[in-house]
């Protein structure tokens, strides 16, 4: 469904990605963890075709998103839904209008159809009845959910989440985790979740990959990841869960 093959990228005179290969299949959730500034968001930007790799290929359903003509690139981008790290809601539009925007921009659907689709997506994320509010009037967790409703409004096949639980309290974080799981099941999407939150990674991931200094140093099931003997992976786990999270003997 989505595959990065040996992606390398220099930005600002520094090598950010150094031969990154990742794969995610339909109905599967891949989590990417790693320290701040290590290139996780840059990796997502390569996936949707917003950044062009210096080397390597990004295959979406077998098509190279950077090699196809412009019109096909648009079509391939339409396969993606993305929840941005910043939320990226437009402040002067209501929640409803924010979610409806991609449909007005990219489809020929009429007002009635758009209204129905938006209502359904707001329901899915637990925001029915909140569509008339402005971003400034809702909490951080609601903003994430509104961003999520917008990300799924055009029924994407691949969903990318950049730090879906950052800045949220643990209760809201677990609600978002559950939502990611539900969407995976209901929409049968392939998902990629970038997070610092190991609890979230273990809950939503079928696989967890760790990006460190531009390379993937681990890519394993949550259970195998937690038992990894890779020193940087151990440091990362122990920083969050303490030394009790020792690898299984």
Structure tokens at 82: 């993305």
Instruction: Note whether 87 binds ligand ATP by CB under 6 A.
Output: no
Region binding Mg ion by CB under 5 A among candidate stretches 34-42, 106-114, 149-157, 220-228: 34-42
Count of residues engaged in binding ligand ATP, rule: CB under 6 A: 11
Should residue 13 be labelled a site residue for ligand ATP when binding is judged by CB under 6 A?
A: no
Given the rule CB under 6 A, which of 32-40, 99-107, 143-151, 223-231 is the region that contacts ligand ATP? 32-40
Distance (Å, whole) CA 94 – CA 104: 14
Q: Which stretch binds Mg ion (CB under 5 A): 8-16, 36-44, 137-145, 231-239?
A: 36-44
Q: Give the nearer residue to ligand ATP in terms of CB position, either 24 or 127.
A: 24
Q: Are 121 and 161 in contact (CB under 8 A)?
A: no
Can residue 199 be called a binding residue for Mg ion (CB under 5 A)? no
Nearest distance, CB of residue 82 and Mg ion, angstroms: 12
Told to check if 107 binds Mg ion by CB under 5 A, we report no
Distance CA 134, CA 96 (A): 9
Q: From the list ligand ATP, Mg ion, none, which binds 216 (C-beta under 5 to 8 Å, kind-based)? A: none
Among 8, 15, 21, 41, binds Mg ion (CB under 5 A): 41
| Residue 108 interaction partner, one of Mg ion, ligand ATP, none, beta carbon < 5-8 Å per kind | none
* 87, interface contact from ligand ATP, Mg ion, none, CB < 5-8 Å by kind: none
Nearer to ligand ATP, 39 or 49 (CB): 39
Residue 45 in contact with Mg ion, rule: CB under 5 A? no
Q: Does residue 16 interact with ligand ATP by CB under 6 A?
A: yes
How far are the Cα atoms of 2, 12, 49, 102, 137 from residue 145, in angstroms, in the given order?
24, 33, 24, 16, 14
15 binds ligand ATP (CB under 6 A): no
110 binds ligand ATP (CB under 6 A): no
Interacting residue ranges for ligand ATP, rule: CB under 6 A: 11-12, 16, 34, 36-42
Interacting residue ranges for Mg ion, rule: CB under 5 A: 40-41
């Amino acid at each position: 469904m989505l595959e990065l093959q040996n992606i390398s990228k220099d930005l600002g005179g520094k090598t950010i990605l150094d031969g990154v290969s990742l794969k995610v299949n339909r109905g599967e959730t891949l989590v990417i963890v790693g320290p701040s500034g290590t290139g996780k968001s840059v990796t997502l930007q390569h996936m949707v075709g917003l950044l062009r790799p210096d080397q390597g290929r990004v295959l979406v359903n077998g098509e190279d998103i950077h090699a196809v003509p412009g019109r096909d690139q648009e079509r391939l981008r339409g396969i993606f839904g993305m929840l941005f790290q910043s939320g990226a809601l437009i402040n002067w539009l209501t929640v409803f209008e924010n979610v409806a925007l991609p449909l007005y921009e990219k489809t020929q659907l009429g007002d009635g159809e758009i209204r129905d689709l938006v209502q359904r997506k707001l329901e899915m994320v637990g925001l029915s009845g909140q569509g008339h509010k402005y971003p400034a009037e809702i909490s951080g967790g609601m903003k994430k959910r509104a961003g999520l409703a917008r990300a799924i409004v055009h029924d994407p096949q691949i969903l990318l989440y950049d730090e879906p639980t950052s800045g949220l309290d643990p209760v809201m974080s677990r609600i978002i985790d559950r939502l990611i799981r539900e969407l995976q099941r209901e929409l049968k999407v392939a998902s990629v979740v970038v997070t610092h939150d190991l609890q979230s990674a273990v809950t939503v991931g079928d696989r967890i990959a760790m990006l460190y200094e531009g390379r993937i140093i681990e890519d394993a099931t949550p259970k195998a990841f937690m038992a990894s003997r890779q020193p940087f992976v151990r440091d990362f786990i122990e920083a969050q869960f303490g030394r009790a999270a020792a690898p299984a003997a």
